[in-house]
Amino acid sequence: MNKLLESYMAYLKGQKAMSEHTCKSYYTDLISFEDFISSKYGVSLKHPEDILPDHIKGFLKNLHMHGLKKTSISRKLSSLRSFFRFLEKKHKIKKNPIMGVPNPKIGRHNPRVLSVDQIIKFLSQKTDNSPKELRDKAILELLYGSGLRIGEALSLDIDHIDLSQNTIKVMGKGNKERIVPLTEKSKQAIIKYLEQRGAFNPAPREKALFLGIRGKRLNRRQAIRIIEHTLKQAGIHFHISPHTLRHSFATHMLEGGADLRTVQKLLGHSRLSTTQRYTHITLGKITQIYDMAHPRANTKKK
């Protein structure tokens, strides 16, 4: 990795406070771009002033030809935009080659959510009260109960939990801190887990709330396996990501009558427009109820 990329990675982790997972994605995208432009055009990120808009367009065209989804192409383009903005700030380039390169048009789609019945089934799996299963139960209750991002949940320390106030202190994107309520189910699950946390043999100074089998902070891959295992137990035969529980939290809050601004604050969204996408789902639910209840809503009714 050249010095510019090293400096950029340090910038993302330090000033931008991006997670290790996000930084790794950005790095992978830049290496992919480097490999393409060096072999196709004979230019390199080591000399960014040589890179032209046509090089970037060629890279995007190549991704499209290889069948990459528009959402993935858009993400790679965002990685490049961020990198070239960084180079501008550092005065490493006089002209940004990515200016004028449009994002691929992506059709709006609603995020997948679990129904309330599916959530109840998902979170009601019996446990054998082993330390591992108590930990898993606490994580899942927290992801849905407080609408946390998986990275936020895994980065929690023990002292971020205030059981007396039923709240947790969450460090969100960009190092933005917010206080989020704990549901009673989440609180009880955390209390039971904390009673058995020592079984993971953490080091004396280990602050992480959720621990892996080696007594250190649980990682993202292990958390995803927990969700996949619980899905299988609950008999839910389709894939969901950790973010699906967050989507479900937001949707169920709005369907339950919460206002958009409150949900925005709970989720830690900086823009209301990001939260508004959940209104598309809830409007569909409202329309369905309206069609069932109103005598003149459906002309096919007799």
Q: Report, as residue numbers or ranges, the catalytic residues.
A: 149, 173, 243, 246, 269, 278
DSSP 45: T
**CB atoms inside a 10 Å sphere around CB 291:** 12
- The runs of H, that is alpha helices, within 93-183 are 116-123, 131-146, 150-154
User: In b/e form, how buried is each residue of 178-196, taking b as 16+ CB within 10 angstroms?
Assistant: eebebeeebbebbebbbee
Q: Which tokens go with 173? A: 């994107």
Task: Please state, in angstroms and as integers, the Cα–Cα distance from residue 132 to each residue in 24, 128, 197, following that order.
Answer: 28, 9, 9
Task: Please state, in angstroms and as integers, the Cα–Cα distance from residue 38 to each residue in 28, 41, 92, following that order.
Answer: 15, 6, 19
The H or E element containing residue 243 is helix 242-255
